[in-house]
Amino acid sequence: MSKSRRNKPIYMATVVPGLENIAFQEICTKFPTAGTVDSQKGKVFFHYENSYKDLFALKCVDNIYFYIGSFGIGPHKVDLLQVESKIKSLNVINRILQIEKDIKGKRIIVSASRSGKHTYSRFDIADTFLDALLGYHFFVRGTVEQHDLAFRVDVDKDKAFLHLKLTPPTFRFRGKDREFLTGALRPSVAHSMVLISEPESTDVFLDPFCGSGTIPYERSFYDAFAILASDISAERLEVARKNLPEYIGINRWDACNTEMIDNSVTKIVSNLPWGKQIQVDDINRLYVNFLKEAKRILAPGGRMVLLTDEENALFTAAEINGFSISKVCTISLHGLHPSIFMLEK
Ligand SMILES: C[S@@+](CC[C@H](N)C(=O)[O-])C[C@H]1O[C@@H](n2cnc3c(N)ncnc32)[C@H](O)[C@@H]1O
Protein backbone atom coordinates (compact mmCIF):
# COMPACT_ATOMS: atom_id res chain seq x y z
CA MET A 1 0.00 0.00 0.00
CA SER A 2 1.42 3.47 -0.88
CA LYS A 3 2.14 5.94 1.96
CA SER A 4 -0.68 8.33 0.95
CA ARG A 5 -3.17 5.45 0.89
CA ARG A 6 -1.97 4.20 4.29
CA ASN A 7 -2.94 7.52 5.91
CA LYS A 8 -6.43 7.66 4.49
CA PRO A 9 -9.23 6.50 6.79
CA ILE A 10 -10.46 3.01 5.99
CA TYR A 11 -14.12 2.07 6.31
CA MET A 12 -15.81 -1.30 6.48
CA ALA A 13 -19.36 -1.81 5.23
CA THR A 14 -21.35 -4.90 6.09
CA VAL A 15 -23.39 -6.37 3.25
CA VAL A 16 -25.57 -9.41 2.69
CA PRO A 17 -23.04 -12.14 1.79
CA GLY A 18 -22.95 -12.45 -2.01
CA LEU A 19 -23.50 -8.74 -2.64
CA GLU A 20 -19.89 -7.63 -2.01
CA ASN A 21 -19.19 -6.82 -5.70
CA ILE A 22 -22.39 -4.86 -6.14
CA ALA A 23 -21.62 -2.86 -2.99
CA PHE A 24 -18.11 -2.14 -4.34
CA GLN A 25 -19.63 -0.90 -7.60
CA GLU A 26 -22.00 1.38 -5.71
CA ILE A 27 -19.12 2.77 -3.60
CA CYS A 28 -16.97 3.47 -6.69
CA THR A 29 -19.87 5.03 -8.62
CA LYS A 30 -21.09 7.28 -5.81
CA PHE A 31 -17.57 8.15 -4.55
CA PRO A 32 -15.10 8.07 -7.45
CA THR A 33 -12.24 9.11 -5.12
CA ALA A 34 -12.87 6.14 -2.79
CA GLY A 35 -10.46 3.26 -3.24
CA THR A 36 -11.40 -0.31 -2.58
CA VAL A 37 -9.09 -2.18 -0.23
CA ASP A 38 -10.37 -5.70 0.34
CA SER A 39 -13.46 -7.80 0.76
CA GLN A 40 -14.37 -10.73 2.99
CA LYS A 41 -17.63 -12.63 3.16
CA GLY A 42 -20.26 -10.02 4.06
CA LYS A 43 -17.76 -7.16 4.39
CA VAL A 44 -16.15 -4.62 2.07
CA PHE A 45 -13.21 -2.40 3.07
CA PHE A 46 -12.51 0.89 1.30
CA HIS A 47 -10.71 4.26 1.67
CA TYR A 48 -12.56 7.53 1.76
CA GLU A 49 -11.03 10.95 2.50
CA ASN A 50 -13.99 13.30 3.06
CA SER A 51 -16.60 13.27 5.85
CA TYR A 52 -17.83 9.76 6.65
CA LYS A 53 -21.37 11.16 6.76
CA ASP A 54 -21.25 11.28 2.93
CA LEU A 55 -21.13 7.48 3.04
CA PHE A 56 -24.66 7.35 4.46
CA ALA A 57 -25.79 7.81 0.83
CA LEU A 58 -24.82 4.17 0.22
CA LYS A 59 -27.87 1.93 -0.13
CA CYS A 60 -26.54 -1.56 -0.93
CA VAL A 61 -24.83 -1.83 2.47
CA ASP A 62 -26.39 -2.58 5.88
CA ASN A 63 -23.99 -0.77 8.22
CA ILE A 64 -20.83 1.31 7.95
CA TYR A 65 -17.89 1.15 10.37
CA PHE A 66 -14.61 3.01 10.75
CA TYR A 67 -11.78 0.48 10.67
CA ILE A 68 -9.45 1.13 13.62
CA GLY A 69 -6.98 -1.69 13.13
CA SER A 70 -6.20 -5.37 13.58
CA PHE A 71 -3.74 -7.56 15.46
CA GLY A 72 -2.88 -11.21 15.98
CA ILE A 73 -4.71 -13.04 18.77
CA GLY A 74 -4.13 -16.52 20.23
CA PRO A 75 -6.81 -19.22 20.67
CA HIS A 76 -6.69 -19.51 24.49
CA LYS A 77 -8.35 -17.49 27.20
CA VAL A 78 -4.93 -16.52 28.55
CA ASP A 79 -4.17 -14.86 25.19
CA LEU A 80 -6.83 -12.27 25.98
CA LEU A 81 -4.44 -10.86 28.62
CA GLN A 82 -2.43 -9.35 25.76
CA VAL A 83 -5.38 -7.42 24.34
CA GLU A 84 -4.77 -4.32 26.48
CA SER A 85 -1.21 -3.78 25.23
CA LYS A 86 -2.15 -4.65 21.65
CA ILE A 87 -4.98 -2.09 21.71
CA LYS A 88 -2.46 0.51 22.96
CA SER A 89 -0.22 -0.20 19.99
CA LEU A 90 -3.17 0.44 17.64
CA ASN A 91 -3.19 4.07 18.77
CA VAL A 92 -6.96 3.91 19.08
CA ILE A 93 -7.50 7.49 20.21
CA ASN A 94 -5.50 9.06 17.38
CA ARG A 95 -7.20 6.81 14.89
CA ILE A 96 -10.67 7.84 16.13
CA LEU A 97 -9.64 11.50 16.15
CA GLN A 98 -9.15 11.14 12.38
CA ILE A 99 -12.93 11.20 12.05
CA GLU A 100 -14.41 12.41 15.38
CA LYS A 101 -13.08 15.62 16.95
CA ASP A 102 -14.79 15.39 20.34
CA ILE A 103 -14.48 12.05 22.15
CA LYS A 104 -14.03 13.11 25.79
CA GLY A 105 -16.47 11.51 28.24
CA LYS A 106 -18.11 9.37 25.56
CA ARG A 107 -20.16 6.36 26.73
CA ILE A 108 -18.96 3.24 24.97
CA ILE A 109 -20.13 -0.32 24.34
CA VAL A 110 -18.40 -3.24 22.60
CA SER A 111 -19.97 -6.09 20.62
CA ALA A 112 -17.99 -9.04 19.30
CA SER A 113 -18.18 -11.89 16.83
CA ARG A 114 -15.93 -14.93 16.65
CA SER A 115 -15.15 -17.54 14.02
CA GLY A 116 -12.58 -20.31 14.39
CA LYS A 117 -11.49 -22.45 17.33
CA HIS A 118 -10.98 -20.55 20.58
CA THR A 119 -11.38 -21.42 24.25
CA TYR A 120 -13.11 -18.08 24.88
CA SER A 121 -16.56 -16.86 23.84
CA ARG A 122 -17.56 -13.72 21.98
CA PHE A 123 -18.75 -12.34 25.34
CA ASP A 124 -15.24 -12.83 26.78
CA ILE A 125 -13.87 -10.92 23.78
CA ALA A 126 -16.37 -8.07 24.20
CA ASP A 127 -15.67 -7.79 27.97
CA THR A 128 -11.88 -7.83 27.46
CA PHE A 129 -11.96 -5.16 24.75
CA LEU A 130 -14.36 -3.02 26.78
CA ASP A 131 -12.06 -3.12 29.82
CA ALA A 132 -9.05 -2.29 27.65
CA LEU A 133 -10.83 0.65 26.00
CA LEU A 134 -12.06 1.94 29.38
CA GLY A 135 -8.36 2.15 30.30
CA TYR A 136 -8.41 5.31 28.17
CA HIS A 137 -9.80 7.94 30.48
CA PHE A 138 -11.66 9.51 27.56
CA PHE A 139 -14.30 6.83 27.77
CA VAL A 140 -16.98 5.75 30.25
CA ARG A 141 -19.09 2.60 30.27
CA GLY A 142 -22.36 2.92 28.33
CA THR A 143 -25.36 0.62 27.88
CA VAL A 144 -27.02 -0.78 24.76
CA GLU A 145 -29.82 1.76 25.25
CA GLN A 146 -27.54 4.69 26.07
CA HIS A 147 -24.15 5.06 24.43
CA ASP A 148 -22.25 7.42 22.17
CA LEU A 149 -19.73 5.06 20.56
CA ALA A 150 -20.29 1.40 19.64
CA PHE A 151 -17.15 -0.62 18.98
CA ARG A 152 -17.24 -3.92 17.09
CA VAL A 153 -14.59 -6.63 17.37
CA ASP A 154 -14.46 -9.49 14.87
CA VAL A 155 -12.11 -12.32 15.83
CA ASP A 156 -11.50 -14.35 12.71
CA LYS A 157 -9.29 -17.36 13.54
CA ASP A 158 -5.98 -15.78 14.71
CA LYS A 159 -6.75 -12.12 13.99
CA ALA A 160 -8.83 -9.50 15.78
CA PHE A 161 -10.34 -6.57 13.83
CA LEU A 162 -11.49 -3.49 15.74
CA HIS A 163 -14.09 -1.11 14.27
CA LEU A 164 -16.23 1.83 15.36
CA LYS A 165 -19.85 1.79 14.21
CA LEU A 166 -20.92 4.92 12.33
CA THR A 167 -24.46 4.22 11.14
CA PRO A 168 -27.47 4.57 13.48
CA PRO A 169 -29.75 1.52 14.02
CA THR A 170 -32.41 2.95 11.66
CA PHE A 171 -29.94 3.28 8.73
CA ARG A 172 -30.53 -0.15 7.21
CA PHE A 173 -34.31 0.25 7.42
CA ARG A 174 -34.37 3.71 5.80
CA GLY A 175 -35.72 5.34 8.96
CA LYS A 176 -38.48 4.17 11.30
CA ASP A 177 -41.67 4.96 9.39
CA ARG A 178 -41.83 1.93 7.09
CA GLU A 179 -43.74 -1.26 7.75
CA PHE A 180 -42.11 -4.58 6.78
CA LEU A 181 -44.23 -7.75 6.32
CA THR A 182 -43.38 -11.48 6.24
CA GLY A 183 -41.26 -12.15 3.16
CA ALA A 184 -40.21 -8.50 2.92
CA LEU A 185 -36.77 -8.01 1.47
CA ARG A 186 -33.96 -6.20 3.19
CA PRO A 187 -33.76 -2.71 1.62
CA SER A 188 -30.05 -3.27 0.80
CA VAL A 189 -30.91 -6.39 -1.23
CA ALA A 190 -33.81 -4.63 -2.98
CA HIS A 191 -31.49 -1.73 -3.80
CA SER A 192 -28.83 -4.05 -5.20
CA MET A 193 -31.44 -5.61 -7.50
CA VAL A 194 -32.51 -2.16 -8.66
CA LEU A 195 -28.88 -1.28 -9.48
CA ILE A 196 -28.44 -4.58 -11.37
CA SER A 197 -31.40 -3.53 -13.56
CA GLU A 198 -29.37 -0.38 -14.52
CA PRO A 199 -32.00 2.30 -13.79
CA GLU A 200 -32.65 4.80 -16.60
CA SER A 201 -34.82 7.92 -16.55
CA THR A 202 -36.87 6.51 -19.47
CA ASP A 203 -37.76 3.32 -17.55
CA VAL A 204 -41.27 2.03 -17.15
CA PHE A 205 -40.54 -0.05 -14.07
CA LEU A 206 -42.78 -2.74 -12.56
CA ASP A 207 -42.57 -4.97 -9.49
CA PRO A 208 -45.51 -7.39 -10.02
CA PHE A 209 -45.03 -9.20 -6.64
CA CYS A 210 -44.45 -5.99 -4.68
CA GLY A 211 -45.70 -7.06 -1.21
CA SER A 212 -45.07 -4.13 1.12
CA GLY A 213 -43.28 -2.26 -1.67
CA THR A 214 -39.61 -2.58 -0.72
CA ILE A 215 -38.33 -2.81 -4.31
CA PRO A 216 -40.40 0.06 -5.80
CA TYR A 217 -39.39 2.15 -2.77
CA GLU A 218 -35.70 1.57 -3.57
CA ARG A 219 -36.35 2.31 -7.28
CA SER A 220 -37.85 5.70 -6.29
CA PHE A 221 -34.34 6.97 -5.46
CA TYR A 222 -33.73 7.18 -9.24
CA ASP A 223 -35.59 8.99 -12.03
CA ALA A 224 -38.01 6.97 -14.13
CA PHE A 225 -40.76 7.61 -16.67
CA ALA A 226 -43.08 5.54 -14.44
CA ILE A 227 -42.78 3.24 -11.43
CA LEU A 228 -45.52 0.67 -10.92
CA ALA A 229 -46.14 -1.81 -8.11
CA SER A 230 -48.68 -4.62 -8.07
CA ASP A 231 -49.58 -7.65 -5.97
CA ILE A 232 -52.46 -10.10 -5.72
CA SER A 233 -53.02 -9.47 -2.00
CA ALA A 234 -55.21 -6.54 -0.93
CA GLU A 235 -53.71 -6.61 2.60
CA ARG A 236 -50.16 -6.34 1.30
CA LEU A 237 -51.11 -3.51 -1.06
CA GLU A 238 -52.61 -1.68 1.89
CA VAL A 239 -49.14 -1.66 3.48
CA ALA A 240 -47.46 -0.77 0.17
CA ARG A 241 -49.78 2.26 -0.10
CA LYS A 242 -48.55 3.48 3.30
CA ASN A 243 -44.90 2.84 2.42
CA LEU A 244 -44.68 4.24 -1.11
CA PRO A 245 -44.66 7.82 -2.45
CA GLU A 246 -47.95 8.83 -4.09
CA TYR A 247 -46.58 9.01 -7.62
CA ILE A 248 -45.96 5.25 -7.68
CA GLY A 249 -48.87 3.50 -9.41
CA ILE A 250 -50.23 0.69 -7.22
CA ASN A 251 -52.55 -1.99 -8.67
CA ARG A 252 -54.12 -5.22 -7.45
CA TRP A 253 -53.17 -7.60 -10.24
CA ASP A 254 -52.32 -11.25 -10.62
CA ALA A 255 -48.76 -11.15 -11.96
CA CYS A 256 -49.82 -13.71 -14.57
CA ASN A 257 -52.57 -11.44 -15.86
CA THR A 258 -51.76 -7.74 -15.52
CA GLU A 259 -53.47 -4.83 -17.23
CA MET A 260 -50.24 -3.53 -18.79
CA ILE A 261 -50.34 -3.18 -22.57
CA ASP A 262 -48.02 -5.22 -24.80
CA ASN A 263 -44.32 -4.17 -24.95
CA SER A 264 -44.86 -1.32 -22.46
CA VAL A 265 -42.47 -2.18 -19.58
CA THR A 266 -38.68 -1.69 -19.80
CA LYS A 267 -37.67 -3.21 -16.42
CA ILE A 268 -39.22 -5.75 -14.08
CA VAL A 269 -37.49 -6.23 -10.72
CA SER A 270 -39.12 -8.59 -8.24
CA ASN A 271 -38.72 -10.91 -5.28
CA LEU A 272 -40.77 -13.89 -6.49
CA PRO A 273 -42.75 -16.03 -4.04
CA TRP A 274 -40.46 -18.99 -3.17
CA GLY A 275 -43.24 -21.09 -1.68
CA LYS A 276 -41.67 -20.89 1.81
CA GLN A 277 -42.83 -17.83 3.78
CA ILE A 278 -45.51 -17.05 1.16
CA GLN A 279 -47.54 -20.20 0.35
CA VAL A 280 -48.13 -20.88 -3.35
CA ASP A 281 -50.03 -23.93 -4.71
CA ASP A 282 -47.78 -24.69 -7.66
CA ILE A 283 -44.51 -22.73 -8.00
CA ASN A 284 -43.70 -24.27 -11.41
CA ARG A 285 -47.01 -23.22 -12.89
CA LEU A 286 -46.81 -19.74 -11.32
CA TYR A 287 -43.33 -19.14 -12.79
CA VAL A 288 -44.32 -20.38 -16.28
CA ASN A 289 -47.47 -18.23 -16.34
CA PHE A 290 -45.73 -15.18 -14.92
CA LEU A 291 -42.89 -15.35 -17.48
CA LYS A 292 -45.47 -15.73 -20.26
CA GLU A 293 -47.08 -12.48 -19.08
CA ALA A 294 -43.66 -10.83 -18.67
CA LYS A 295 -42.83 -11.76 -22.26
CA ARG A 296 -46.00 -10.01 -23.42
CA ILE A 297 -45.58 -6.77 -21.45
CA LEU A 298 -41.80 -6.32 -21.68
CA ALA A 299 -40.54 -4.00 -24.41
CA PRO A 300 -37.97 -5.47 -26.84
CA GLY A 301 -34.60 -5.40 -25.04
CA GLY A 302 -36.47 -5.24 -21.72
CA ARG A 303 -34.78 -6.70 -18.69
CA MET A 304 -35.92 -8.59 -15.58
CA VAL A 305 -34.04 -8.99 -12.31
CA LEU A 306 -35.61 -11.69 -10.13
CA LEU A 307 -34.79 -13.18 -6.73
CA THR A 308 -35.71 -16.76 -5.83
CA ASP A 309 -34.26 -19.96 -4.41
CA GLU A 310 -36.45 -22.00 -6.82
CA GLU A 311 -33.73 -22.09 -9.46
CA ASN A 312 -34.98 -25.13 -11.42
CA ALA A 313 -38.52 -23.77 -11.68
CA LEU A 314 -37.21 -20.43 -12.96
CA PHE A 315 -34.81 -21.96 -15.54
CA THR A 316 -37.59 -24.21 -16.86
CA ALA A 317 -40.05 -21.32 -17.09
CA ALA A 318 -37.42 -19.15 -18.84
CA GLU A 319 -36.75 -21.88 -21.38
CA ILE A 320 -40.47 -22.46 -22.06
CA ASN A 321 -40.98 -18.73 -22.64
CA GLY A 322 -37.80 -18.12 -24.66
CA PHE A 323 -35.94 -15.83 -22.22
CA SER A 324 -32.16 -15.77 -22.00
CA ILE A 325 -31.30 -16.21 -18.31
CA SER A 326 -28.13 -15.84 -16.26
CA LYS A 327 -27.34 -16.06 -12.57
CA VAL A 328 -25.87 -12.79 -11.22
CA CYS A 329 -25.03 -13.96 -7.70
CA THR A 330 -26.15 -16.18 -4.83
CA ILE A 331 -26.78 -14.50 -1.50
CA SER A 332 -27.20 -15.67 2.11
CA LEU A 333 -30.53 -14.57 3.53
CA HIS A 334 -32.33 -15.88 6.65
CA GLY A 335 -30.37 -19.17 6.44
CA LEU A 336 -31.39 -19.69 2.77
CA HIS A 337 -29.32 -19.21 -0.38
CA PRO A 338 -31.48 -17.63 -3.07
CA SER A 339 -29.96 -16.19 -6.25
CA ILE A 340 -30.49 -13.05 -8.26
CA PHE A 341 -31.18 -13.83 -11.92
CA MET A 342 -31.19 -11.59 -14.96
CA LEU A 343 -33.54 -12.39 -17.83
CA GLU A 344 -33.62 -10.61 -21.16
CA LYS A 345 -36.38 -10.64 -23.78
C1 LIG B 1 -41.71 -12.73 -1.52
S2 LIG B 1 -43.12 -11.75 -1.40
C3 LIG B 1 -42.57 -10.21 -2.00
C4 LIG B 1 -42.07 -9.39 -0.90
C5 LIG B 1 -41.76 -7.96 -1.31
N6 LIG B 1 -40.63 -7.88 -2.20
C7 LIG B 1 -41.50 -7.13 -0.07
O8 LIG B 1 -40.37 -6.73 0.20
O9 LIG B 1 -42.47 -6.93 0.70
C10 LIG B 1 -44.10 -12.34 -2.67
C11 LIG B 1 -45.41 -11.58 -2.92
O12 LIG B 1 -46.04 -12.21 -4.03
C13 LIG B 1 -47.44 -12.05 -3.88
N14 LIG B 1 -48.07 -13.00 -4.80
C15 LIG B 1 -48.20 -14.37 -4.69
N16 LIG B 1 -48.79 -14.85 -5.80
C17 LIG B 1 -49.03 -13.80 -6.62
C18 LIG B 1 -49.59 -13.65 -7.93
N19 LIG B 1 -50.05 -14.70 -8.60
N20 LIG B 1 -49.65 -12.41 -8.46
C21 LIG B 1 -49.20 -11.32 -7.78
N22 LIG B 1 -48.68 -11.40 -6.55
C23 LIG B 1 -48.59 -12.61 -5.97
C24 LIG B 1 -47.69 -12.27 -2.40
O25 LIG B 1 -48.90 -11.64 -2.02
C26 LIG B 1 -46.43 -11.59 -1.80
O27 LIG B 1 -46.72 -10.26 -1.46
| Kind of pairing between the strands at 226-231 and 249-252 | parallel
Q: Is 74 helix (H, G, I), strand (E, B) or coil?
A: coil
The enclosing H or E element of 213 equals: none
Predicted pLDDT of residue 5: 47
Domain 3-171 carries which CATH code? 3.30.2130.30
Measured CA to CA, the distance from residue 145 to residue 214 in angstroms comes to: 28
- Cα 72 to Cα 16, 66, 89: the distances in Å are 26, 19, 12
Q: What is the pLDDT along the chain (345 residues), one digit of tens a residue?
A: 444 445 689 999 999 999 999 999 999 999 999 988 889 999 999 999 999 999 999 999 999 999 999 999 999 999 999 999 999 999 898 889 888 888 889 999 999 999 999 999 999 999 999 999 999 878 999 999 999 999 999 999 999 999 999 999 899 988 767 788 877 899 999 999 999 999 999 999 999 999 999 999 999 999 999 999 999 999 999 999 999 999 999 999 999 999 999 999 999 999 999 877 667 789 999 999 999 999 999 999 999 999 999 999 999 999 999 999 999 999 999 899 999 999 999
User: Residue 237 Cα, ligand 1 centroid: separation in angstroms?
Assistant: 10
Under 8 Å between Cβ of 19 and 188: yes
User: How far does the centroid of ligand 1 lie from the alpha carbon of residue 135, in Å?
Assistant: 52
Closest ligand 1 atom number to CA of residue 212: 9
Atom of ligand 1 at shortest distance to CA of 290? 19
Pairwise CA distance, residues 130 & 125, whole Å: 8
- Name the residue among 57, 150, 34, 145 with its Cα closest to residue 100: 150
* Model pLDDT, residue 1: 42
CB 70 within 8 A of CB 170: no
Best mutation site among 191, 214, 231 for ligand 1 pocket (most ligand atoms within 8 Å of CB): 231
Gap between the Cα atoms of 316 and 337, Å rounded: 19
Q: What is the DSSP letter of 163?
A: E
Alpha helices in the chain (DSSP H): 3-7, 20-30, 83-89, 92-97, 122-134, 187-196, 214-219, 234-243, 283-297, 311-320
Residues of the chain with CATH 3.30.2130.30: 3-171
Interior CA angle at 309 toward 308 and 312, to 5°? Answer: 100
Give the pLDDT confidence score for residue 268 in this predicted structure: 98
Atom 26 of ligand 1 has which residue's CA nearest to it? 211
E strand or H helix at 345, and its extent?
none
Q: What is the pTM of this model?
A: 0.93
Class of domain 175-344: alpha beta
Measured from CB, residues less than 6 Å from any atom of ligand 1 are: 181, 183-185, 208-212, 214-215, 231-233, 236, 254-256, 271, 273, 278, 280, 286
Atom of ligand 1 nearest to the CA of 180: 9
Provide the residue type at 158 as one letter.
Answer: D
Query: Where do you find CATH 3.40.50.150 in the chain?
Result: 175-344
**Amino acid in position 178:** R
Measured CA to CA, the distance from residue 271 to residue 187 in angstroms comes to 12
Helix (H) or strand (E) holding 246: none
